[in-house]
Structure 1
């Protein structure tokens, strides 16, 4: 797992060898989501209680049953579908496993059954304290269930790279280094010659290579990371025309 600086973004390597990026949701976003869910849950309970109140003494017993079922089932029902209650969906956050994969039904149940522990002694005080002392903002229920709440990042389409020769790097790069190479290739035509040479020299250090044709090499590596295949373009290109 790699941390991504001030953004608190982390890269997690899945068993399949694929890296995924996640951003843990902080206290503010989760508090707003909880407030929205609290209001919705309160309105539902008021509506159900108003209807059952007409049934007299039997209605009072049904109200207690409905309160138990709705208050405990609300979060479990929504989160087991896609990890999002209405409040979480509004804030674009969701519950996932610690490895970034969708949370299982048993994990959803455990994290919600332990809500009373997070609410000790009152108003989620203990849960908030625990969240503030870890960089993934996990409450007690999350620690027990092996879950966390992350932002539902919107996927942005990356600029299409120019076609050309594709080469596989001879050294293994970290996810952040691969992203840096891709960013260099995507912005290559927008940069001045001096800025391109400066960035290329910095990136060349990761490959332990000289600076001859390093710009062309970086572009060919970026095409590999972008999933392109060789089109038999000549190698190397003319000087200054990567």
Structure 2
């Protein structure tokens, strides 16, 4: 009798194991991203960045806005930036609109000395389509692929891993300062059931010897994927081209180029 009961128990266990459904593979984030590249549509971003630099205290930067897509990626941005602390290491304007080949800046130093009626300064587009303080540009498919395939783990919709500035530089086609090349950025990349990125959190530490140590943390959220987006250049009569500014003007002659070196306060 005991043998019969034991046999039934083993059979039940085997049936239970067989009946368990196989875990579905996660949706491919790169394929999901490329499907979003539709003219007239985009995504909203909300970002908080904090850099703590030894005895000089901490700087907090918030970025909020909208990104517009074309068939091959970002074609327009409308971003608002706020800074608290010892000053922005990026020099980002309080308001920045990028459309096509130009970026328009407004507020703070970018507006204080403009002629009457002028509210915006126009610059050649230097950002390369990179938004905010986040060094991990998930809008570039090859970068997103590297973060996904290079992750050490995937659990609960989150990819976790590390990537060096040197590796990012090669992906971006940028020459990274040798002091940064081996510095690792740890990251958490959250995706939804469709594979679309909902959040990226990155953190890295820099040590410049007697110049001190810094720790930077950037938390970026993405919402409203696929929503309709309209981003236009400011009215022409409110715009002054940077080339029209005199050499004695305090208005910045350029805006942040979004390079990895500038994001890491290395010039």
Same fold (TM over 0.5): no
Q: Flag the structure with higher strand content.
A: 2
The higher-RCO structure (CA 8 Å, 6+ apart) is 2
The higher radius of gyration belongs to 1
Could you state the TM-score of these two structures normalised by the residue count of structure 2?
0.19
Could you state the TM-score of these two structures normalised by the residue count of structure 1?
0.21
